[in-house]
Structures are given as C-alpha cells and as structure tokens.
C-alpha cells in the first residue's frame, strides 16, 4: 500500500557525551519507532530506520542506521534522504555539552563539581520541514509531562510538521521505556485519541492513518 514510498523513521534516545564514557541520555527504548518501522515494512514501504542506542532486535526492520548522538542522527538523515514520508519518533537530546573532554573528567581536590555548558542540538524534525525536499508528510512526536495538548499544538506550529503524536511521559504513565502507550494524534484541524494499548497496536493505527492520508 506504500509501495515505492521512501519513509524515514527516527527512533530511540541519543547520547550526548561529556567525555569518552559519560553522556546525557534519556529513557527512550526506541520501541514505538521500531514498531512503526515494522508496520511500514509490512505495508511495502522502503523504510530507513535511524535509531539511537537501544536494546532491541533490529535485524528485521529494513535499512537500519545506528547512531549515538544527535549530530550523527542529523547527518544520517541528510545522507539517507530525501524521503516521501518522515516519522520522527526519536527522543533527540535537545542539548549537548559544548565541549567533549578529551580525557575522563576527574574530581577536583576541592570537591567542586564541574560546570556543564550546554549548546543546542540541530532540530532534525524542524530542519526536515524547512528543507528543499520536504517530505510530503512529516510527523513529529511530543513527549510531555504536562499540558500535553497545548504543548503539542505549539510544537505542530513551531516545527512546521503535519501531525504531532503527543504522549504523556510522566513517571506515573510508564509510557517512556514501557510496553504500552496512549497517544493523541494532533493535526491542524483534528485530534484523534488512541487509548492505552501495546506499542505494536498504536503503530498499526498510526500507519493506517498514514496510508489514508497518502492515498487521499
């Protein structure tokens, strides 16, 4: 149903290194993105999955490019494109340490912790939306702990994407890193709530909406 459509899926966390062994990361398991990639493959799409460090079996998920940092993910997206459809499900680190220390950062004798200066990472989703070869359909994710809908709506506008899949990632929800998810697909003129269910089932529903949109 998506035959000959080139589809990008980004998934998983990124690691933003302080030195060779320490990084800033997040709890993303990559599962929701991986399930979306699997489902798109079943729909005959030409899928490129660009994924951060995860503990998942990736061998049956199409063209898989494994990366660690946001900078690497951004580079890989640009190299692998252009795409007809992009689904940015990765939990990309918003910031990285301004400098990565060349050797392991040591404790000082005065016991003063180091001060971390952070710089902003490239916004892969936003850059895709303003690129010359913008995919026909660009879908972002919004992982929020509060004001879910309001934040999703402002993300839809700020990023310039077509849909935002909003999910609650508060510690209580256990959605981030967990087996299940509950999301709201936020479009410019419509909101579609997908009740709590497995990430596989959520992926199938999202992909069905994608097929409907592309064939409309």
Residues that bind ligand C5P (CB under 6 A): 10, 70, 88, 90, 92, 94, 121-125, 140-142, 155
Q: Which is nearer to ligand C5P, 32 or 121 (CB)?
A: 121
- Min separation Cβ 15 and ligand C5P, Å: 13
Q: Which is nearer to ligand C5P, 36 or 124 (CB)?
A: 124
Which residues, in sequence order, are CB contacts of 88 under 8 Å at separation 6+?
Answer: 8, 10, 124, 125, 128, 138, 139, 140, 141, 161
The answer to whether 70 and 122 have CB atoms below 8 angstroms apart is yes
- Min separation Cβ 39 and ligand C5P, Å: 17
The answer to whether 7 and 84 have CB atoms below 8 angstroms apart is yes
Q: Pick the catalytic residue: 26, 167, 168, 181?
A: 26
Nearest partner of 161 among 205, 190, 127, judged by Cα:
127
- Min separation Cβ 102 and ligand C5P, Å: 25
Nearest partner of 11 among 74, 88, 77, 79, judged by Cα:
88
DSSP string spanning 166-189? EEE--TTT--TTSSEEEEEEEESS
Which residues, in sequence order, are CB contacts of 215 under 8 Å at separation 6+?
Answer: 1
Q: Which is nearer to ligand C5P, 105 or 144 (CB)?
A: 144
- Min separation Cβ 195 and ligand C5P, Å: 21
158 is annotated as an active-site residue:
no
CA gap 173, 168 in Å, rounded: 7
Q: Which is nearer to ligand C5P, 64 or 124 (CB)?
A: 124
Catalytic residues: 26
């Amino acid at each position: 149903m998506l035959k000959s459509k080139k589809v990008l899926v980004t998934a998983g966390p990124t690691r933003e290194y302080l030195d060779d062994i320490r990084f800033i990361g997040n709890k993303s398991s990559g599962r929701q993105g991986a399930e979306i990639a699997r489902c798109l493959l079943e729909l005959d799409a030409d899928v490129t999955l660009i994924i951060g460090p995860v503990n998942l079996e990736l061998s049956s998920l199409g063209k898989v490019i494994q990366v660690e940092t946001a900078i690497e993910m951004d580079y890989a997206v640009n190299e692998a494109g252009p795409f007809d459809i992009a689904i940015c499900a990765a939990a990309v680190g918003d910031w990285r340490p301004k400098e990565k220390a060349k050797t392991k950062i040591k404790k000082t004798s005065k016991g003063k912790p180091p001060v971390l200066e952070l710089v902003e990472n490239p916004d892969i989703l936003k850059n895709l939306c303003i690129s010359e070869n913008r995919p026909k359909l660009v879908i972002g994710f919004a992982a929020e702990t509060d004001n879910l809908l309001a934040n999703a709506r402002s993300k839809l506008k700020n990023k310039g994407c077509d849909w935002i899949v909003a999910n609650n990632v508060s510690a209580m929800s256990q959605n981030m890193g967990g087996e299940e998810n509950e999301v709201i697909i936020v479009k410019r003129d419509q909101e579609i709530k997908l009740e709590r269910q497995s990430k596989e089932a959520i992926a199938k529903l999202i992909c069905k909406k994608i097929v409907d949109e592309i064939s409309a």
